[in-house]
Amino acid sequence: MILRIRVILNVEEDVLRDIEIDESLSMMEFHKAISSFFGFDSSEPSTFFKSNNKWEREDEIKIFKLDENDQVYPDSSVSEFIKSKGDKLIYIYDFLNYWTFFIDVNETVEKAKDREYPFCLLSVGKVPEESPTNIFLDNPDIDIDSNSDLS
């Protein structure tokens, strides 16, 4: 099955990508696909969080081992965490610059025989030169150090 996903970069101007991925894609491959669709090289440590409908961070899905006690999921398939319309994740790329993305499954479709996945259906907006860290710092209602409402 193919997941059609909208990935929105948390910046002031609209920057988003509608992508299609095979649900069997590993979380590490998903990280690489998202980062490449937004022009990053995927070399920075990153993580995912499960999210509810209010975009509140829930369980972390680590793909990089930063501590010897970390449980990581780089080889787990995307379908272990998202698989149907309305499922959401938050993706943090580069812990120093804190690029934040909201991932929302729009629908599931059958695999197209003439298409290679992952595939970008729609690209809107340009990624800013500098990271949007100031969005969090300028908003006292958002606490980036705990599970918080990122909307």
Q: What is the pLDDT along the chain (151 residues), one digit of tens a residue?
A: 999 999 999 998 999 999 999 999 999 999 999 999 999 998 999 999 999 999 999 999 999 988 888 889 999 999 999 999 999 999 999 988 899 999 999 999 999 999 999 999 999 999 998 887 544 444 444 444 444 444 3
- Is position 149 within any domain? no
- Is position 84 within any domain? yes
Q: Supply the pTM of this predicted model.
A: 0.84
- Is position 100 within any domain? yes
Three-state secondary structure along 69-108?
Answer: CCCCCCCCEHHHCCCCCCCEEEEEECCCCCEEEEEEEEEE
- Is position 129 within any domain? yes
- Is position 51 within any domain? yes
User: Which domain CATH number covers 68?
Assistant: 3.10.290.30
- Is position 35 within any domain? yes
DSSP state of 125: S
- How many domains in the chain? 1
Containing structural domain, residue 53: 2-137
DSSP state of 17: E
